């Protein structure tokens, strides 16, 4: 299939990387802690590799799987190494008590990432309306996404489909802020009886 790169070595990096490897992609893990990157690549197996943090990623799709407070800095740190890449922002920028967002309309994490990304890079928000455990379960659930340009969104849709997910295109990059609110809503539903084994969907009956 394709080669995808994941920046980060936490829960979501593990869930996305494992699912991608299981569905035939070559996975590259890049993390500021190289020992953690190595450990995750070994856990994922299936030929997963470790890339140098800050070097040009091997994959055309680069999933930025870090905490929201660090995501823009990560893009800044990589700089030109991300030219031409599709950057997938998975962050949920919740405020301290998860009663609202730390971002505002027009300044979603995705839009802030796009503002510092190099020429030819396109940011797409995805994976923030699903819990890591649901992704890991490898079920065919809906996956909402939105981002910068039809070409980048279609590349992400193809990637999601290859993982056995149902891509649900919410539109251009300005919809990323709505997805951030949707991520908060997912947590609200989970905490109010829905449980943490759910994902937001846009399904037909």
Task: Report how many residues bind ligand NAP under the rule CB under 6 A.
Answer: 24
SS (H, E, C) the chain: CCEEEEECCCHHHHHHHHHHHHCCCEEEEECCCHHHHHHHHHHHCCCCEECCCCCCCCCCEEEECCCHHHHHHHHHHHHHHHCCCEEEECCCCECCCCCCECCCCCCCHHHHHHHHCCCCCEEEEECCCECHHHHHCCCCCEEEEEECCHHHHHHHHHHHHHCCCEEEECCCHHHHHHHHHHHHHHHHHHHHHHCCCCECCCCCC
Q: Is 73 in the site for ligand NAP (CB under 6 A)?
A: yes
| Closer residue to ligand NAP in complex, CB, 22/151 | 22
Rule CB under 6 A: is residue 66 a binding residue for ligand NAP? yes
- Among all residues, whose Cβ is closest to ligand NAP? 10
The single residue among 9, 18, 103, 108 that binds ligand NAP, judged by CB under 6 A, is: 9
**What is the contact mask toward ligand NAP in residues 101 to 140, using x (rule: CB under 6 A)?**
--------------------------xx--xx--------
Which residues make up the interface to ligand NAP (CB under 6 A)?
A: 8-13, 31-33, 36, 65-68, 70, 73-74, 90-92, 127-128, 131-132
């Amino acid at each position: 299939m394709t080669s995808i790169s994941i920046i980060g070595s936490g829960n979501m990096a593990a869930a996305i990387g494992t699912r991608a490897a299981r569905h035939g992609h070559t996975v590259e893990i890049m993390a500021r802690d190289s020992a953690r990157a190595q450990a995750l690549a070994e856990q994922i197996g299936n030929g997963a590799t470790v890339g140098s943090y800050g070097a040009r990623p091997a994959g055309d799709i680069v999933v930025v799987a870090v905490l929201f407070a660090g995501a823009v800095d990560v893009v800044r740190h990589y700089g030109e190494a991300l030219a031409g890449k599709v950057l997938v922002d998975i962050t949920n920028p919740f405020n301290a008590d998860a009663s609202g967002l730390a971002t505002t309309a027009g300044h979603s994490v995705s839009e802030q990432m796009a503002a510092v990304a190099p020429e030819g890079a396109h940011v797409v928000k995805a994976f923030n309306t699903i819990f890591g455990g649901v992704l890991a379960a490898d079920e065919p659930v809906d996956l909402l996404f939105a981002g910068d340009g039809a070409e980048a969104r279609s590349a992400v849709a193809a990637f999601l489909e290859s993982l056995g997910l149902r891509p649900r295109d919410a539109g251009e990059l300005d919809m990323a802020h709505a997805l951030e609110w949707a991520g908060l809503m997912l947590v609200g539903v989970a905490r109010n009886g829905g449980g943490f084994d759910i994902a937001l969907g846009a399904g037909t009956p």
